[in-house]
Structure 1
Amino acid sequence: MIKTTFSIKGKDYRQWAPFVLRVITGLGFLLHGWAKLSRGPEGFAKLLTQLHIPFPDIMAWITTLTEILGGAALIAGIAVSLIAIPLICTMLVAMFGIHIHYGFSAVKTIGLTPGGPVFGPPGYEINLIYIASLISLMLTGGGRWSADSFFAKEE
């Protein structure tokens, strides 16, 4: 019996689940980066200054571009295992620099007005979900329709 899989270092690129996870996770990073860029990274740099992040102006641009370019690379499935590393780093800094102080839950309803619910600051739940998604993609590869799958060799 001949087994045909398309893989790079043992990753099976015929799977559908990594494709869905890769596109949704990539879109999340792309949109977060785009929001920072459209508001101007200067505002994000002010937040980084309050967190005592060194070189806040430079780090604001690095983070913004990492999220935009990393998100786009994930969507396309380009070097998924490698691209995940700087994205995990951005999530760790956000988690330990900001979100850890607000507990676990990403959604905190703190009140209700005639206009709808009022939400408090998000906890670190979403950071952990992004990190778990990225680790999963590092282990499985980008799945179907990833650029990586086109370069995989048939074993």
Structure 2
Amino acid sequence: MNNFIYALSKKYQIFCSLIKHGDGIAALTLRLYLVPIFWMAGTNKLAHFQQTVEWFGNTDWGLGLPFPMLLATIATSAEIIGAILLAFGFLTRLISIPLIITMLVAIVTVHLPNGWQAIADPNAPFASAQVLASTEKLEKARQILETHGNYDWLTSSGSFVILNNGIEFAVTYLVMLLALIVLGGGRYLSFDYWVKHFFLK
């Protein structure tokens, strides 16, 4: 039995030594997943910057944040610059920090009142009262579309759903950014690795 465990342990060590050169793939996939998300968010804010500032500052229909011009500028810059740096894997750990802050602000100010789910699904285990109430709205909308629209065509690419705008996606991005703080840009596949390899020895 001991010989079997020892042999298994040796094989596992060999396996680990072989795959360690590919451990940068995990960081690369996280980075490339997040790049379009932050690029689209940042460039959309920039394209409608005045509306973004108003949304940040307005207490009636916006976030009601102080210093809306400053915060909108910081958020927009963090997302655009963050997308670029993540794409190249440069200063990955450093840029993940302001992106984490933007996610935390989004979670608390925008998504938290809507519960967990991004898409309203009354059958999900974390369905809130708001999600459960959307069932009636969804059924009514489906009836209207079936009666007055081409429902088969409208749903040919997927089911008809109601956006719940909960914290689900923002928390997912937050977790991915926390992983990048630990992983960095990744071995071989990032500027961080080569800068460290050649210039910071």
TM-score (norm 1): 0.82
Structure 1 residue 26, shift from structure 2 partner: 2.1
Sequence identity (%): 31
Q: Which moved more, 1:143-152 or 1:104-113?
A: 104-113
RMSD of aligned residue pairs (Cα, Å) = 2.3
CA offsets per residue over residues 77-108 of structure 1, 9 Å max, x none? 11100100000000000100110000001112
Structure 1 residue 41, shift from structure 2 partner: 1.4
Aligned twin of 1:132: 175
Superposition map of 1:1-150 within 5 A: 14-38=23-47, 40-49=48-57, 50=59, 51-108=63-120, 110=134, 111=138, 112-113=141-142, 114=145, 115=154, 117-143=160-186, 144-150=188-194
Bigger Cα Rg: 2
1:152 and 2:196 correspond: yes
Whichever structure has more helix as a proportion of its residues is 2
Contact 1:108 1:120 in 2 (8 A): yes
1:13 to 1:78, Cα distance in 2 relative to 1, 3 A: farther
Amino acid of the structure 2 residue aligned with 1:133: M
Amino acid of the structure 1 residue aligned with 2:70: I
Structure 1 residue 145, shift from structure 2 partner: 1.9
Partners of 1:104 and 1:97 lie apart in 2 by 14
Q: Which consecutive segments of 4 or more residues in structure 1 shift more than 6 A?
A: none
Aligned residue pairs total 144
Aligned twin of 1:9: none
Contact 2:116 2:167 in 1 (8 A): yes
1:13 to 1:83, Cα distance in 2 relative to 1, 3 A: farther
5+ residue gaps, structure 1, are 6-11
Q: Which has the higher contact order (CA 8 A, sep 6+)?
A: 1
Structure 1 residue 118, shift from structure 2 partner: 4.7
TM-score (norm 2): 0.65
Whichever structure has more strand as a proportion of its residues is 1
5+ residue gaps, structure 2, are 1-16, 122-133, 146-153
Amino acid of the structure 2 residue aligned with 1:36: K
